Amino acid sequence: NPVQPEADTLKLLIALHELGLPFTSRYVDTAKLEQWSAAHRRLAPQGQVPVLVDEGEIMNEGAFALQYLAEAYGARRLAPRAARLWYEVQAWNARVDAALGPTVSLLGWTRATSAAERAAYRTALAEVSGRERPAGWFAVLADAEASEDQLANARERIGEMLAEIERALDGAAWLVGGDYSIADINAFAYLHTLPRL
């Protein structure tokens, strides 16, 4: 769906800017299904967005590309050196991605698009050959209209994650170990959209 790549792409863009790395950005319009073009599928066979290419190496899993940037580059590290803190960063990212990724996408998908736009998108998506059928929350996004119960469940999951983040930030500037890290970048990529949802 065209909403999900926004957060995943934003994470990498923030990290690239924070690390001061030069890069070339190529826009892929997921609303127009450009992620399924032959050129893009050479980089990401399952139509993933974003894709990071570094020194010829292709990384088409956004979460791992973010970790790669944090570990590989820059005088200003976005990953803690201590193994225990690095574990905490990765654990935060896994929880945030699981709780906010699909739920923020679900709300954004239903709030930012009309029923007709969603139907047209699903029709066009169904015509893409070689595409795997989505599962779980993403099946709701791509293949069906969300019910009020599903939207309420999404809001509840978001509320629970927000409460966890608020507890972690009570008396702290950053989520892990007192330093800015990709855990903060990851959470921000989802949270900045909540006011308009």
Separation between Cα atoms, residue 174 and residue 169, nearest integer Å: 6
* Mean of per-residue pLDDT scores for the chain: 87
Q: Rounded to whole angstroms, what are the CA distances from 162 to 74, 153, 180, 181, 185?
A: 30, 14, 18, 18, 15
Query: Where does residue 57 fall: left (phi above 0), alpha (psi -120 to 50 degrees), or beta otherwise?
Result: beta
Q: Tell me: the pLDDT tens digits for 54-112?
A: 999 999 999 999 999 999 986 668 999 899 999 999 999 999 999 998 888 888 888 77
Q: Where are the beta strands (DSSP E) in 21-142?
A: 52-54, 57-59
Query: Where does residue 47 fall: left (phi above 0), alpha (psi -120 to 50 degrees), or beta otherwise?
Result: left
Its pTM stands at 0.87
Separation between Cα atoms, residue 18 and residue 79, nearest integer Å: 12
Q: Tell me: the pLDDT tens digits for 8-26?
A: 999 999 999 999 999 999 9
